[in-house]
Amino acid sequence: METRTKATAAMGGYSRDNVAWHTTSAGRTVVLISTDLLPGRPLRLWGAVVEIPDGGVFIRLAILGPYDGWSVSQLLAVGLARFEAELAHSGEPVLAEIVSHMERAAAVHREPQAGWAVPPVSFEPAPPGGVASPFPWTVARTGPFSIPLCPDAEARQRGVVPEQLLAVIELALTSWLPVTPWRRSCWEARREVRAALTLEAARATARWAAHVADCDGEPEMG
Amino acid sequence: MTQLPSRLETLDELVRRHATGNDLPRPLPRVRFADALARGDDPLHLLPYLNELGVRIGTLEDLLAACTDSGEEEIEAFRVEEGVAVFLVTDGQWTVFTR
C-alpha cells in the first residue's frame, strides 16, 4: 500500500495546531487535528475530521477523561464490529484476516490512563427512509458522540468508510505513542491496525477497480 | 533494572531466577544479534519497534541500554553469558540475542 500519511506542525503565537492526515485508496481524506489551546476556551480539542461525500464527520477523541470523546478502545470495538458485520455479509477471506488483526489490536491495547473506564458503545440500525443497508447497524454511539458509518458494502454512500475508521485509529495510536506509558503495547496495537489498514486498502482498491470494469463493460448509451 | 553481578549469569540461571511460582522456563528463541540486525527484525519485533521510535541500535550494548531505559516499562533486558536476554512483560515472551 502506498502510505499517504503526512504530518506537519504549524507553530506560532500561543496556539499550536498539529495536523496529520491520511488519504484512503478512494481518495477520501482523514485529518487529525490537535489544538493545544483555543483562546478563550478551557478544553483542548483533539479529533479527526473524516471526509464523506458532501461533507465531513468529526470524530472527537478522548483526551481529558473517558467521557469527552472516543477512546481508542472504543474505536477498536467499532472497527471490529464493522468488519465482523462485513465478514458476515460477504464472507471474503481477507475480512477474516482483518478481523483477527483487529482482535489482536484490541487485546494488546491499553488505555493510557489506567483509571479510565471504557463507556459502552451502542450500535443502531440505519434510519428508515435512508439508504438500505445490508448491515445490522450503521451508527455507533457512546454518550453524546456518534459515528455514522457508510451504510453500503461498496463504501460509496455517505458515512465513514471502514478504511477511514482504521486510519483514524492509526493516527490516534501514533499520537499516543510518544506519550503513553504503555509504549510497546501501543506500538503492537498500531502494528496490527496498520496490517488491517493495508489489507482493507487493497480490498477497497480491488473493489473500485471491479466497479470501474463493470461500468466500462456496459454498452454505450447511443 | 539490570543487575551486574561479578559473574555473568547463564541464561538458564536467569530464567530460573526470573520464573515465579510454577512459571517454569519455556522455550527461549535465540537469534544471533548480527543476523537480526541484518534482517531488521527479530522474534519480538524489538528492532522495528525501536527503529520506529528513532532509537539507533548498532550493538548489543545499544539494545541493552534501549530496553533497560526507564521509559520501557513493558520490556526487561538482562546481560547473560550468551549475550542479552529480553523479556516482554506484556506477553511473557523471551528472546535471546547472542553474540
Does some domain include residue B25? no
* Paired strand residues for A56: A51
Looking at residue A61, the DSSP 8-state letter turns out to be B
* Residue A185 to residue B74, Cβ atoms within 8 A: yes
Number of domains within chain B = 1
B67 within domain boundaries: yes
**Residue B28 falls inside a structural domain:** no
B27 within some domain: no
Q: Residue B5: its pLDDT value, please?
A: 55
- Residues in chain A with pLDDT < 70? 1-18, 36-44, 218-222
Confidence (pLDDT) at B97: 96
| pLDDT tens, residue by residue, B3-21 | 555 678 888 888 888 776 6
Residues 6+ apart with CB under 8 A from A37: A14, A15, A16, A44
Residue A132 or residue B48, greater confidence: B48
Q: Provide the 8-state DSSP code for B8.
A: P
The pLDDT of B32-50, averaged and rounded, is: 96
Residues of B at the A interface, defined by Cβ within 8 angstroms: 45, 49, 52-53, 71-75, 88, 90-91
Residues spanned by the domain of B68? 1-17+38-99
Give the DSSP letter of residue A55. Answer: E
- pLDDT for B4 equals 56
Is there a domain that residue B63 lies in?
Answer: yes
Full-model pTM? 0.86
For chain B, say whether A191 makes contact (Cβ under 8 Å): yes
Residue B83 is assigned to a structural domain of this protein: yes
Measure Cα distances from B66 to A106, A220, B53 in Å: 26, 64, 11
CA–CA min distance A112, chain B (Å): 13
**Residue B57 burial (CB count, 10 A):** 19
Alpha helix ranges (H) inside chain B: 11-18, 33-39, 46-52, 60-67
Contact between chains at B72 and A181 (C-beta distance less than 8 A): no
Establish if B30 belongs to a structural domain.
no
Task: Kindly report the average pLDDT of chain B as a whole number.
Answer: 87
Contacts of B72 in chain A (CB under 8 A): 183-184
